[in-house]
Structure 1
Amino acid sequence: MTFYTYDYLQGSQSSWQYARIIILSVLAVIFIGFLVHYLRNRMDSKYKDLTIIVGTLLLLILAIQYDDFSAIQSASAQTGQITQTVKQIAKRLHVGTKSVSINSTTQNANLMAKTPSGYYRVDYNADGSQFVLEKVELDGSSHIKVQEAN
């Protein structure tokens, strides 16, 4: 069973999104540069071809980004919900958020929390707005791995 720390959940929330934004920005700057060179030197077809290639690549990446946009929003919302759950667990147990780990990156029905005082099952009510912590004992054959932030 893998548990994820609060720092891991915070870090995984936006790292790939920032990488995509950086890639898109770099491609947009390169496209504008080639376009300006082409407009200055209309007789040189090299810049025209490079502008078309980079523009096509930019449109392709924008289409992929748009396609993944709803998935990214959903994942960010779920990660935000789970980090709020970790904060609430830490507050209820009077421990720091860094000492609480959770076994999922999304809010689901089978959530477990690992804390310094033991393992807890997180039992949500029907609408998912509140939860109850129930202390559990894991059997000795359970392999526990804690995934921390890099």
Structure 2
Amino acid sequence: MTFYTYHYLTTQHSTWQYLRIALLIALLVAFMGLFFYYLRHRWNVKYKDLSIITGTLLLLVLGLQINSLVSLRSASEQTGEITGIVTNVAQQLRVSPKKLAVNATTSNTNLLIKAPDGYYRLDYNSDNSAYLIEKVTLHQPKIKLVKE
């Protein structure tokens, strides 16, 4: 069973997004350079072809980046929900949120919380508007803690 720390949940943003943005900027610069070079030397058709290929790659990477940002936004909203739950549980257990770990990165009905003094299960009511914290004992737990 995998548990994720509060620090992991709050700093889970992907660093490869920055790599895509850098690739996007590099393609934009290459496209502009090739296109302007083609405009200066209209007799050399290879720069026109290279600028079309670069422009197509630029549009492809831009589309992937927009899709990725939309999915990152929804993931951030779901992570915000789970971090809110962890902070509420930390207040009720009277511990720091940094000492807690949860078994999911999105909020669902089967959440287990790993605290310094044991494991807790969140038992939701029928409309998921409230929950009860119940201490549980795991038999032969195989715990993997993801910190960062």
Quick check: TM above 0.5?
yes
Aligned residue for 1:79?
79
CA contact (8 A) 1:120 1:135 kept: yes
- Secondary structure at the aligned position of 2:135 is classed as strand
Q: Deviations over 1:73-118 (max 9, x none)?
A: 3222111211222222222222222211110011111110101121
Aligned residue for 1:136?
136
RMSD: 2.2
> What is the CA distance between 1:40 and its match in structure 2?
2.4
Aligned residue for 2:40?
40
> What is the CA distance between 1:142 and its match in structure 2?
1.6
Partner letter of residue 9 of structure 1? Answer: L
Point out where structure 1 has 5 or more consecutive residues left out of the alignment.
none
Aligned residue for 2:144?
145
Q: Deviations over 1:6-35 (max 9, x none)?
A: 121222234344443333233223222222
Aligned residue for 2:97?
97
Larger displacement relative to structure 2 (32-41 or 116-125): 32-41
- Secondary structure at the aligned position of 2:59 is classed as helix
Structure 1 residue runs of 4 or more that deviate by more than 6 Å after TM superposition: none
> What is the CA distance between 1:67 and its match in structure 2?
4.3
Q: In the comparison of the two structures, how many residue pairs are matched?
A: 148
> What is the CA distance between 1:5 and its match in structure 2?
0.9
- Secondary structure at the aligned position of 1:20 is classed as helix
Q: Quick one: structure 1 residues 13 and 79, their matched pair in 2 at CA, closer, same or farther if it must change by over 3 Å?
A: farther
- Secondary structure at the aligned position of 2:43 is classed as coil
Partner letter of residue 78 of structure 2? Answer: Q
Aligned residue for 2:58?
58
Write the distance in 2 (CA, Å) between the matches of 1:129 and 1:18.
37
Partner letter of residue 147 of structure 2? Answer: E
Aligned residue for 2:4?
4
Q: Quick one: structure 1 residues 20 and 79, their matched pair in 2 at CA, closer, same or farther if it must change by over 3 Å?
A: farther
Write the distance in 1 (CA, Å) between the matches of 2:126 and 2:20.
37
Larger displacement relative to structure 2 (33-42 or 109-118): 33-42
Partner letter of residue 144 of structure 1? Answer: I
Identity of counterpart residues, as a percentage?
50
CA contact (8 A) 1:13 1:79 kept: no
- Secondary structure at the aligned position of 2:92 is classed as helix
Partner letter of residue 87 of structure 1? Answer: T
- Secondary structure at the aligned position of 2:104 is classed as coil
If the length of structure 2 is used for normalisation, what is the TM-score?
0.84
Write the distance in 1 (CA, Å) between the matches of 2:11 and 2:135.
28
